Structure 1
Amino acid sequence: MSSHGSSSSSSSSSSSSVIVVGFGGVCFDMVAVLSSFPKPDDKTSCRSMTIQTGGGVANTATCLSRLGIQVRLMSKMGDDFQGRTIVEDLQAEDIDTSFLVVAEGGRSPFSYIIVEQKTNTRTCILTPADPIMVPEDVILSHLESALSGACLTYFDGRFPYAGLIVAKESARKGIPILLDAEKRRDGLDEILDMSDYAVCKMKFLEAWTGEPSMPSAMISLLLRLPKLRFVIVTMGENGCIMLERCMKECPASEEDVDRVLESLKQQEDKSIASPFCISSPVMRMKAEGIGTMVGRLLLGTAEKIPPKEIVDTTGAGDAFIGGVIYALCTNMSSERMLPFASKVAAEVCRSLGARAGLPRLMDPSLSPLLP
């Protein structure tokens, strides 16, 4: 993997020999579609029902496998029906499950996901794994094998204390780390400290930095974490914002980062349905009371999906991260990466559940966004 940050487009290398290690949570999902959410003590009819396997790292692993990336998965589940189903589904997607930990007599995580068609929203009710994955579950000899030849390690934020062992060994071996920082968890900061890339929600960024302005919070994050090459904040149907650290020389003059973002928003053509990216030049950006850094700010749009085509948004964020990881592993430029990841996420929204709509690399919908 080359150093990320060039504004020029790089040709995509073959992904068939690329290996990514994913660490985090798996799940057994029961997905119900309702016309509208019932009131307390009320009843409603289910329009459709499906049982799927999910979990953040498993969804992203499935996305990557369908895009041609080899994935080794590290997680923990019970030896129950749900756990056996999870393993079978992962193996059917050509994901290496030999590094999974199976707890004898344990309970695999499962969730009820309620999709409301009226508002295109979803409600998740999770029953967590028991027992959870702990540092003692990470066998160093297995970890050595899992990381052998890997070009990137991905963490979905689950089981952070066990994940810290994997992150430390990845960092020691010089394997880049990408963290999905959805919300603050005890032990997650240590993994973030070692991460090369971060994808997060605005709520996480606000909580971690204490800054209410998104661009200022992004600068605060990169200044406090010198190893971090970029941070992406995802905003659902409103797209994403990316702040990328650059090492290029640039003018001594400084630009306020909030004004840079406003300038990018003014350039956005809202009539374009397909995802696209608008980038600032490399510049010295400042956040009042925080500091200054050299980098680029990028605005990525989400695909404008016709309402009648939206079925379920479950797993869209996991698919977006899968698109980002694929782009990193194949040396896409940032300008290509954000629209590509948004398109992958959009395809998921057209099917029920987190995996049914995940595209394959040869899917015609992706071809316009590939080099």
Structure 2
Amino acid sequence: MSSASLPPSPEKCIVVGFGGTCLDYFAVVSTFPKPGDEIRCISTKVQGNGEAANALTCLARLGVRGRLMSKIADDIWGKSILEELTADGVDTSFLVVAKDGRTPFSYVMVNQSTRARTCIFTPGFRVMEPADISQMYLKSALEGARFVYFDATHTDTAIVVAQEAAGQNIPILLDAEKQRPGLDGLLHLSDYVVCSAKFSQAWTDAPSLPSALLSILLRSPKLKFAIVTMGERGCLMLERSSDAENSVMGEEDVNSLLHSLEQKKDDSVARPMCISSKVVKLKANGIGTLTGRLFTCTAERTPPSELVDTTGAGDAFIGAILYALCMNMTPEKMLPFAATVAASGCKGLGARTSLPFRTDPCLAPYFDGPAMT
């Protein structure tokens, strides 16, 4: 892609990410072993992991400055994680180093034929604690931040950071993958949330994903939008609107509205496709009503021969959402862009190997036309 076709890199946009870090040991095998079997690896890889670290790596490759708040061990693997993040352009100056710590790690086995994964996680120790964060450290880490992102680990410490960010009116994006102690407090401080399908229905007790999105926005009035990711089935998004945005407004059941939007999908299109409703009053029985827009977006149809590993796909998606927010992309462009970035990340082994750069040809369609400001 020529530099002339790229939008200006949002160099003044700083995204602060808070979360854990770890190390992955990958082994690709032809098929998962049965008990007692001995098999050979096809290939192996060692790479850093951690949701916030992955999302910030994605942002760095897209041209956004990412600043990581986390705690790493002072062992050889902690140094490896630090070097890898620094090489990718992530600001690691706010990492807290745990003396005599131990880096958490996972053994990840990838089935080459099915692309399925199985993981064995070994926790480390000396995690990020509120005592690690002085007021001076906190203010310095958040200085100049356009957004703050939380991956919902170490929630007691994350709440301290989130309260300061909210007090400074810095918008917060939360990754709600599963229910954790303290997550409710983080969610109510957040301006945006990206959550798994499992979390959204478990947290709300809603009977469907569209009604779960409606319930999340009603229960967390600060949220501007909520996104549910569904893997190869794409994603759903509900954006809050004000009643004044549409003087002539209908009222629609949120489940019926999603059904009508899905009828407009074109299965012959490989690239991600976003379909949106107008601003309407959305309702769901037993949940309530909300004025907003509903979006459904397909995932990229990646040929099986190109799909290698889905590790970190959700983190890549969130990194792309944060980039889109920095660039003021419309939801209609933001969701397909994030789906494309996530799909690109699945074409290599590990969470970061195939994360695209801004110059990657797969991103060219999103940079056509006038630059966004």
Counterpart position of 1:171: 166
Counterpart position of 2:361: 364
Counterpart position of 1:306: 303
Counterpart position of 1:86: 81
Counterpart position of 2:49: 54
Whole-Å Cα distance in 2 between the matches of residues 109 and 140 of structure 1? 27
Secondary structure of 1:85 counterpart: helix
1:129 aligns with 2:134: no
* Deviation at residue 229 of structure 1 after TM alignment: 0.6
Q: Is the 8 A contact 1:77 1:129 kept in 2?
A: no
TM-score, with length taken from structure 1 = 0.95
Q: 2:25 aligned to 21, 30, 45, which one? A: 30
Counterpart position of 1:42: 37
**How many residues get paired?**
361
Which amino acid in structure 1 is aligned with residue 346 of structure 2? C
Whole-Å Cα distance in 2 between the matches of residues 140 and 12 of structure 1? 37
* Deviation at residue 110 of structure 1 after TM alignment: 1.0
TM-score, with length taken from structure 2 = 0.95
1:66 aligns with 2:61: yes
Whole-Å Cα distance in 2 between the matches of residues 260 and 174 of structure 1? 34
Whole-Å Cα distance in 2 between the matches of residues 329 and 13 of structure 1? 11
Which amino acid in structure 1 is aligned with residue 306 of structure 2? E
Which digits, 9 at most, give the CA deviation of each residue in 1:278-326, with x for residues without a partner?
0011111101111000001101111000101111111111100011000
Unmatched 5+ stretches in structure 2: 1-5, 369-373
Secondary structure of 2:68 counterpart: strand
Counterpart position of 1:219: 214
Counterpart position of 1:278: 275
Which amino acid in structure 2 is aligned with residue 168 of structure 1? Q
Whole-Å Cα distance in 2 between the matches of residues 159 and 305 of structure 1? 34
After TM superposition, which residue ranges in structure 1, 4 or more long, deviate above 3 angstroms?
A: 11-14, 250-253
Counterpart position of 2:258: 261
Q: 2:189 aligned to 194, 197, 201, which one? A: 194
1:149 aligns with 2:144: yes
* Deviation at residue 118 of structure 1 after TM alignment: 2.2
* Deviation at residue 41 of structure 1 after TM alignment: 2.1
Q: Is the 8 A contact 1:66 1:361 kept in 2?
A: yes
Whole-Å Cα distance in 2 between the matches of residues 56 and 148 of structure 1? 22
> What's the RMSD between the two structures over aligned residues?
1.2
CA gap 1:192/1:186 in 2 versus in 1, 3 angstroms: same
Unmatched 5+ stretches in structure 1: 1-10
* Deviation at residue 103 of structure 1 after TM alignment: 0.8
* Deviation at residue 12 of structure 1 after TM alignment: 5.9
Percent identical among aligned pairs is: 55
* Deviation at residue 370 of structure 1 after TM alignment: 2.4
Secondary structure of 1:307 counterpart: coil
Counterpart position of 2:236: 241
* Deviation at residue 204 of structure 1 after TM alignment: 0.5
* Deviation at residue 250 of structure 1 after TM alignment: 4.5
Q: Is the 8 A contact 2:9 2:64 kept in 1?
A: no
* Deviation at residue 13 of structure 1 after TM alignment: 5.9
Q: Is the 8 A contact 1:24 1:57 kept in 2?
A: yes
Which digits, 9 at most, give the CA deviation of each residue in 1:95-119, with x for residues without a partner?
1111111110011111111111222
Q: Is the 8 A contact 1:12 1:331 kept in 2?
A: no
Which amino acid in structure 1 is aligned with residue 299 of structure 2? A
Secondary structure of 1:120 counterpart: coil
